[in-house]
Structure 1
């Protein structure tokens, strides 16, 4: 496997190793992937909950266009 990093990412990885928290670059990347997996699982879980709320919630008297327009105005 061949992975490319930006200079900023390489510096971050090197700084993490230099801090003594990690023994090498691979440990930094493995930890980042582990955290990314946890984050993605949480995002997916939260989205599923929101979808369930929508499906199980009351029907709206608003049209889809009205809902979209109201969301645009609330930003």
Structure 2
């Protein structure tokens, strides 16, 4: 697998290794991917909860057209 990084990303990875917290570049990338997975799971769980609230909430008397029109007028 080949992965390309920007110059800034490469510098960041190098800086992280230089702190001594990571032994090599691969550890930095693995940690970043682990954190990304945690973040994505949280975002998806939060969205699911909000969708559930909407489905289980009271019905609105407003039509979709009313809602769209109110957003246009802001």
Structure-2-length-normalised TM-score: 0.90
- SS of the equivalent of 1:40 reads helix
Deviates more, 1:59-68 or 1:24-33: 59-68
Distance 1:52 1:70 in 2: 24
Query: Does the C-alpha gap of structure 1 residues 65 and 11 become closer, same or farther in structure 2, counting only changes over 3 Å?
Result: same
RMSD value, Cα: 1.2
**Is residue 32 of structure 1 aligned with residue 17 of structure 2?**
no
The within-5 A match list for 1:1-75 is 1-71=1-71, 73=74
Counterparts of 1:12 and 1:65, CA distance in 2? 48
Cα distance, 1:26 vs structure 2: 0.3
Consecutive unaligned residues in structure 2, runs of 5 or more: none
Unaligned runs of 5+ in 1: none
